């Protein structure tokens, strides 16, 4: 069984995610999160919030509408340029993304290649429809937005489901700037839904038609892009970089942030946030270092308005290698200028006696893609068990809690501990069904990082065993200290530093 199939099996069998509306016949590109998946996703989102909103006192989360009027997307350029290349089978009418058809047969990335060149390559290599082997038409384009009518009759207006969360930050910029006492940098974060009518959604949660983004739009003075007040904290920190010039060799360079500034000529403001992104993945979530890299996009690959664009990629076996999870984009003043042009309202600000148009640094994360990556990196098949080694901070429950047996007061004692842990803010999975070994295997397969068992010794000494999912080691902890010890464990402290490991 391929790894992607194993992921799907566990996801469906245990209650993480599955295709939407299965009872009526699903539509590709739509997935529902079940009870464990919703918890895992919510925890990832909250870790993202806590980490990135904590970078600056003037970074705040907002909630914007997911339906916006047509004028928003005239200003953003989506009506004109939010398009994908497509080919249609002349025989059965099947439609596919042209760049995906090419990349499935020819090694390379064809995103950004001209329509004429893609048509030429498809004809040259006699690429045909996978469904009926019919020939393809010439490559055309399709707009990926979902249009809709707002209101009725004479009051009807054209609107769209938003294809990205970013526009919510841009249309709210001026009001937030005034409300937050006219200070820059100012960060507006949105964790919310986006909608794209993908031609050929694929790879489960990686490319969907309805998906969740976590984005931080940082508005700043462009004259200060060469500095950051906290750059000294990351100056010696090494970034894992895959620059454009390394495409042939495939080499990943490791450079200190200060070297990235001097050698790659990237500004300190940009590099500082690259460092924080890498630290989120490697230090906070504790993902394997060799699975992470920043990939520089070429001029042909990146959006024309992005002056600097590095993708954040994770190496995932089921997707054939490094795949995009997020992006760090210097969007200049493109977005605010567009909204100023269409609305007629000035987006310029006055700070320290200077009047200027703020620029934007965008930190953009695909939440669903990152959830899928958590599955890919977590799934381990060991001799006697299948275990999901999720980062402790995003495990669907903080702890599994079990009475050793269902008699002699052990259930009552366990329930008391459950109440105490819940009051301390922990999410608790209580289970009293089957042998203790089977219960451990159950929480291992769904990725719960900690297991607490109440046994006969617990009744005498008012303590319990705390088990580490990954090493299966155990320590005994006083009930009065359990919440504190569990918190340290989830934050990343190893079991042997929290108590004496039982033999």
pLDDT tens-digit profile of 238-273? 999 999 999 999 999 999 999 999 999 999 999 999
Q: What is the pLDDT of residue 497?
A: 96
Residue 185: asked if its preceding bond is cis (omega within 30°), the reply is yes
DSSP for 67-118, written as a single string: EEEHHHHHHHTHHHH-EEEEEEBTTT--EEEHHHHHHHHSSS--TT--HHHH
329 within 8 A of 306, measured Cβ to Cβ = yes
Handedness of CA 158, 161, 164, 167 (dihedral sign): positive
pLDDT band at 142 (very low <50, low <70, confident <90, very high): confident
Task: Summarize pLDDT for 291-310 with one digit per residue, the tens.
Answer: 999 999 998 888 889 999 99
Give dist(CA 219, CA 183) in Å, integer. Answer: 10
> What's the distance, Cα to Cα, between the start and end of the chain in Å?
36
Q: What homologous superfamily does CATH list for 3-68+161-378?
A: Bira Bifunctional Protein; Domain 2 (3.30.930.10)
Domain ranges of the chain: 3-68+161-378, 85-143, 397-497
Higher pLDDT, 124 or 421: 421
Task: Summarize pLDDT for 342-372 with one digit per residue, the tens.
Answer: 999 999 999 999 999 999 999 999 999 999 9
Task: Give the angle subtended at the CA of 374 by the CAs of 398 and 237, to the nearest 5°.
Answer: 95
Handedness of CA 482, 417, 480, 466 (dihedral sign): negative
Q: May I ask the CATH class of domain 85-143?
A: alpha beta
Mean pLDDT along residues 380-409: 95
Give dist(CA 367, CA 490) in Å, integer. Answer: 21
pLDDT band at 216 (very low <50, low <70, confident <90, very high): very high
315 within 8 A of 48, measured Cβ to Cβ = no
Distance of CA 417 to the CA centre of its chain: 34
Q: May I ask the CATH class of domain 397-497?
A: alpha beta
For the record, the structure tokens of 484 come out as 């504190």
Mean pLDDT along residues 203-230: 96
- Give the neighbor-by-neighbor strand order of the sheet with 140-143: 95-97, 83-88, 140-143
Give dist(CA 21, CA 270) in Å, integer. Answer: 42
Mean pLDDT along residues 452-470: 97
Give dist(CA 367, CA 378) in Å, integer. Answer: 16
For the record, the structure tokens of 411 come out as 């259930």
Q: What is the pTM of this model?
A: 0.91
């Amino acid at each position: 069984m391929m790894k992607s199939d194993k992921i799907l099996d566990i996801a469906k069998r245990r209650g993480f995610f599955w295709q939407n509306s299965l009872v009526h016949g699903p539509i590709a590109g739509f997935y529902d999160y079940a009870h464990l998946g919703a918890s895992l996703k919510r925890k990832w989102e909250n870790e993202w919030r806590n980490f990135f909103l904590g970078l600056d006192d003037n970074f705040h989360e907002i909630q914007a509408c997911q339906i916006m009027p047509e004028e928003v997307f005239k200003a953003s350029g989506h009506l004109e340029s939010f398009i994908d290349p497509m080919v249609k089978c002349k025989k059965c009418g099947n439609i596919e993304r042209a760049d995906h058809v090419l990349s499935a047969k020819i090694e390379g990335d064809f995103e950004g290649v001209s329509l004429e060149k893609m048509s030429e390559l498809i004809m040259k290599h006699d690429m045909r429809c996978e469904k009926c082997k019919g020939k393809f038409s010439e490559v055309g384009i399709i707009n990926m937005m979902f249009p809709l009518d707002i209101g009725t009759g004479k009051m009807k207006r054209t609107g769209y489901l938003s294809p990205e969360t970013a526009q919510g930050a841009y249309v709210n910029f001026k009001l937030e700037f005034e409300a937050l006492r006219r200070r820059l940098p100012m960060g507006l974060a949105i964790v919310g839904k986006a909608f794209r009518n993908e031609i050929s959604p694929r790879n489960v949660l990686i490319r969907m038609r309805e998906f969740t983004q976590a984005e931080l739009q940082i508005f700043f003075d462009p004259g200060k892009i060469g500095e950051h007040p906290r750059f000294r904290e990351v100056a010696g920190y090494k970034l894992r970089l895959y620059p454009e010039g390394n495409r042939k060799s495939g080499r990943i360079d490791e450079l200190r942030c200060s070297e990235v500034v001097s050698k790659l000529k990237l500004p300190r403001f940009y590099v500082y946030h690259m460092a924080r992104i890498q630290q989120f993945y490697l230090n906070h979530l504790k993902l394997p270092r060799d699975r992470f890299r920043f990939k520089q996009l070429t001029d042909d690959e990146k959006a024309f308005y992005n002056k600097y664009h590095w993708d954040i990629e994770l190496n995932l076996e089921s997707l054939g290698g490094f795949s995009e999870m997020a992006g760090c984009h210097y969007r200049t003043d493109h977005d605010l200028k567009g909204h100023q042009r269409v609305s007629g309202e000035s987006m310029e600000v006055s700070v320290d006696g200077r009047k200027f148009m703020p620029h934007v640094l965008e930190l953009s994360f695909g939440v669903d893609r990152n959830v899928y990556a958590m599955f890919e990196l977590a799934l381990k098949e060991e001799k006697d068990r299948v275990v999901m080694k999720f980062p402790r901070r995003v495990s669907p429950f903080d702890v599994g809690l079990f009475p050793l047996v269902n008699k002699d007061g052990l259930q009552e004692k366990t329930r008391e501990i459950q109440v105490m842990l819940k009051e301390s803010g922990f999410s608790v999975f209580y289970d009293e069904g089957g042998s203790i070994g089977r219960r451990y295997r159950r929480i291992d397969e769904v990725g719960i990082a900690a297991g607490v068992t109440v046994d006969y010794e617990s009744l005498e000494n008012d303590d319990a065993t705390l088990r580490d999912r990954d090493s299966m080691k155990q320590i005994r902890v006083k009930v009065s200290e359990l919440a504190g010890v569990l918190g340290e464990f989830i934050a990343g402290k190893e079991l042997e530093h929290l108590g004496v490991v039982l033999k």
